[in-house]
Amino acid sequence: MITIVCAEGGSTIYALKNAIKELGQPCKILLLSEDNLLVDDNYKIDTDLIHSRCGIGDYMDRLTLYSWQVLKNLEEENYKFVNSLSTIYNSSDKFKTLKILNKNGIKVPKTALIRDYGDAIRFIEKYDIKYPLILKNSFSKCGMRVDKPLNNEELKEKTKNSMWESKLIQEYIDFKDQNTGLYKDMRVLVVDGQVVGGYRRISNDYITNLYKGGSIEELKINSDVEEIALKCSEVMKGDIMAVDLLPKNDEYNVVEVNTAPGTKGFRQLGINADEIIAKCLIDRMKR
Ligand SMILES: Nc1ncnc2c1ncn2[C@@H]1O[C@H](COP(=O)(O)OP(=O)(O)O)[C@@H](O)[C@H]1O
Ligand SMILES: [Mg+2]
């Protein structure tokens, strides 16, 4: 039995469950928002492998640890997790992600974890960085907590609660496509050490998340991008991992990796990511 743990439902979860079932294995979904749930200190589930689609995250504008606590408690019962909980943590915490990638020679935007405006100014002066800058919450998702201050006044306003929001300040990568005036970044999916496919996310705005209305187009993955994506999944120890890159002048900055990528975009391009992920989970369950 494979259990998919998630905060809420969604098309990827049901598509994955179907793909696992079509391969002849039982699968159930543990919905952490469902009414009929009580996680006490005896809480166990009957399963051979847990695939978590949640971790630490911003939820309704607050940082929630509930899902993470449930997973960390299940860890005490020695279940198998794919991805591992340490990989999920390292990917949820964008600062830790960039630290690991940078240490392993992967190009990432210059970034600092800040407490307040003073830290932000120290960062700008140390690296001589010009506006615009990027501010984002370490554990946020879906492009919901990304900001682009244009001057000191905006920076001061937007860094007020930095320490309580696990705020990062980051170099802005100008990845606007000069021909079209559109922003196009890249998402590449790696499963089990193989590149499954990728797409460009396209948007009028620098925030390209599909959640915020970005659309997609097929990406022909060149050997540089393939190498970066494989290296990211290797150093992050991700069995299932999407890697997001911002392209600029034939260089690529990795901004984040995702251990629970949506598969809808791949489905639109005719890539059966659900089946590939399902096969990986079944393989790990049997090991
Ligand atoms: N350093 C940056 N320079 C330019 N754009 C950025 C930068 N970081 C993030 N973005 C834009 O904001 C989006 C969301 O940022 P990301 O770090 O992926 O957080 P989230 O978890 O909210 O998706 C990215 O997809 C990209 O479009
Ligand atoms: Mg993102």
pLDDT digits (tens, 9 = 90+) for 148-178: 999 999 999 999 999 999 999 999 999 999 9
Residue 53 has pLDDT above 80, yes or no: yes
What is the spatial distance between Cα 94 and Cα 96, in angstroms, rounded to a whole number?
5
What 3-state DSSP class applies to 272?
Answer: coil
Polymer length of the chain? 287
What is the spatial distance between Cα 85 and Cα 37, in angstroms, rounded to a whole number?
22
**Which whole number is the average pLDDT over 11-22?**
97
Ligand nearest to the CA of 137: 1
Residue 76 has pLDDT above 90, yes or no: yes
213 — pLDDT class (breaks 50, 70, 90): confident
Residue 220 has pLDDT above 90, yes or no: yes
Topology classification of domain 2-90:
Rossmann fold (3.40.50)
Residue nearest atom 18 of ligand 1, based on CA coordinates: 256
Give the Å distance between the CA of 146 and the centre of ligand 1.
7
* 111-171 placed in CATH 1.10.101: no
Ligand nearest to the CA of 140: 1
Residue nearest atom 12 of ligand 1, based on CA coordinates: 207
Give the Å distance between the CA of 93 and the centre of ligand 2.
12
Residue 129 has pLDDT above 90, yes or no: yes
The pLDDT, as a whole number, for residue 214 is 76
Give the Å distance between the CA of 75 and the centre of ligand 1.
31
Residue 114 has pLDDT above 80, yes or no: yes
Q: Which residues surround ligand 2, an ion (CB under 5 A)?
A: 256
Give the Å distance between the CA of 255 and the centre of ligand 1.
6
Residue nearest atom 27 of ligand 1, based on CA coordinates: 207
| Domain map (residue ranges) of the chain | 2-90, 111-171, 175-271
Mean pLDDT, the chain, whole residue set: 95
Which of the four CATH numbers 3.40.1360.10, 3.30.470.20, 2.40.50.100, 2.60.40.420 does domain 175-271 have? 3.30.470.20
Residue 58 has pLDDT above 80, yes or no: no
pLDDT, tens only, 221-246: 999 999 999 999 999 999 999 999 99
Ligand 1 pocket at CB < 6 A: 109, 134, 136, 140-144, 146, 170-173, 185, 206-209, 244, 246, 255-256
What 3-state DSSP class applies to 271?
Answer: coil
Give 28-34's long-range contacts (Cβ < 8 A, gap of 24+).
28/1, 28/2, 28/3, 28/4, 29/3, 29/4, 30/3, 30/4, 30/5, 30/6, 31/6, 31/7, 32/5, 32/6, 32/7, 32/66, 32/67, 32/70, 33/7, 33/8
The pLDDT, as a whole number, for residue 28 is 98
Residue nearest atom 26 of ligand 1, based on CA coordinates: 207
The pLDDT, as a whole number, for residue 144 is 87
**Do 121 and 149 meet the contact criterion of CB atoms below 8 Å apart?**
no
Ligand nearest to the CA of 254: 1
Report the atom number in ligand 1 closest to the C-alpha of 144.
22
